[in-house]
């Protein structure tokens, strides 16, 4: 798998005893550039599960022992167990930590769309912009401006998402509300007309369209259109890299050397090679 190869090209996870049994992205990813440095300098040791504690140390399931320990700190990040004891089960029921919610927001079985669940997703990205988008959608639904489909259609969407998640992630109670940031943001904002219309952008504002299409995906993108549009969204998108560079510009630097010279040299070499090939072709005849 190319992703596994690319990841191990940066850090050989097997060499560092960090390689999991599953494929990349089949569980929650952990991004930590400091951990390999800690391992290689010896300040962190990667061990197996704990078998038992001794009077002064710890024995692991592989038979190794670490002795003379000063402090044992337990960090157990196992996720959350969902429950809604304050709601009737015919409104929302939780089975194997799964929530039957239309696009992770609306209960499909309600007679009227008067209840929304905000923030019950686990994205590969920031949660707050997603929660804001869900809340904006919920307001439009409550106002009758964005009607939901039939209960059957909503339940079909729930089942389709569950099937897709099961085929991608390791089976675990932790992997029941996973979403990818950009596709999910597009999906929920499309429900109430706030997803950027790229065709209209390319025709009316090519500069902005280029920034939206080729630049980073920003929450501002979903403030260009629809209800709650923000007049400052365009400038915020166009100037995002200025804000990225601002805290780094703490001292003036001379202009970066131009790449035209090296590019010109490459073109020259290509031209010379072409002439030589043409000469060889003529001689060969």
Question: 73-110: per-residue pLDDT in tens?
Answer: 877 766 678 888 888 888 888 888 888 899 999 999 88
Paired residues of 123 in beta bridges: 179
Backbone angles phi, psi at 183, to 5 degrees: -60, -40
**In whole angstroms, what is the distance from residue 118 CA to residue 73 CA?**
33
Joined tokens for residue 285 = 């005849």
pLDDT of 42 above 70: yes
pLDDT of 20 above 90: no
pLDDT band at 285 (very low <50, low <70, confident <90, very high): low
pLDDT of 67 above 60: yes
pLDDT of 144 above 70: yes
Residue carrying structure tokens 């290509």: 270
Highest mean pLDDT among 12-21, 75-84, 268-277: 12-21
pLDDT band at 198 (very low <50, low <70, confident <90, very high): very high
- Averaged pLDDT of the chain: 86
- Measured from the Cβ of residue 105, the count of other Cβ atoms closer than 10 Å reads 23
Percent of the chain exceeding pLDDT 90 equals 45
Joined tokens for residue 125 = 């990205």
pLDDT of 268 above 70: no
pLDDT of 1 above 70: no
So what's the pLDDT on residue 16?
83
pLDDT of 29 above 80: no
- pLDDT per residue as tens digits for the range 46-61: 888 899 999 899 999 9
So what's the pLDDT on residue 206?
93
Going by their DSSP bridges, the two strands 94-95 and 98-99 should be labelled as antiparallel
Choose between 22 and 111: higher pLDDT: 111
Choose between 166 and 133: higher pLDDT: 133
So what's the pLDDT on residue 261?
53
Continuous H helices in 59-150: 127-142
Q: Which residues contact 207 (CB under 8 A, 6 or more apart)?
A: 238
Counting DSSP H helices and E strands in the chain, the numbers are 10, 7
Q: Which residues contact 276 (CB under 8 A, 6 or more apart)?
A: none
Q: How far is CA 187 from the centre of its chain?
A: 15
**In whole angstroms, what is the distance from residue 146 CA to residue 211 CA?**
29
So what's the pLDDT on residue 17?
85
- pLDDT per residue as tens digits for the range 152-176: 999 999 999 988 888 888 787 777 8
So what's the pLDDT on residue 137?
96
- pLDDT per residue as tens digits for the range 220-260: 999 999 998 999 999 999 999 999 988 888 888 888 776 55
Going by their DSSP bridges, the two strands 122-124 and 178-180 should be labelled as parallel
């Amino acid at each position: 798998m190319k992703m596994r190869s690319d990841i191990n090209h940066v850090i050989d996870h097997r060499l560092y005893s960090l390689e999991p049994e599953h494929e990349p992205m089949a569980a929650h990813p952990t991004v930590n550039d400091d951990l390999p440095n800690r391992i290689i300098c010896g300040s962190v040791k990667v061990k197996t599960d704990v078998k038992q504690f001794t009077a002064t140390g710890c024995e692991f399931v592989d038979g190794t022992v670490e002795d003379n320990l000063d402090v044992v700190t337990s960090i157990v990040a196992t996720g959350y167990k969902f429950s809604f004891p304050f709601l009737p089960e015919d409104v929302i029921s939780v089975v194997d930590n799964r929530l039957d919610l239309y696009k992770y927001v609306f209960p499909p079985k309600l007679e009227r769309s008067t209840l929304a669940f905000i923030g019950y997703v686990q994205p590969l990205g920031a949660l707050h912009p997603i929660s804001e988008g869900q809340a904006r959608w919920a307001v439009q639904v409550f106002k009758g401006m964005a009607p939901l489909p039939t209960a059957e259609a909503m339940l079909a969407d729930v089942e389709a998402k569950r099937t897709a998640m099961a085929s991608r992630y390791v089976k675990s109670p932790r992997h029941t509300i996973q979403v990818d940031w950009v596709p999910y943001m597009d999906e929920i904002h499309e429900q109430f007309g706030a997803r950027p219309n790229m065709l209209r952008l390319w025709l009316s504002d090519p500069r902005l369209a280029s920034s939206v299409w080729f630049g980073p995906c920003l929450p501002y993108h979903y403030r260009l259109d629809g209800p709650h549009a923000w007049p400052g969204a365009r400038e915020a998108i166009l100037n995002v890299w200025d804000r990225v560079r601002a805290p780094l510009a703490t001292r003036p630097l001379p202009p970066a050397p131009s790449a035209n010279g090296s590019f010109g040299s490459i073109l020259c070499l290509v031209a010379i090679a072409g002439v030589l090939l043409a000469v060889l072709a003529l001689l060969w005849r």
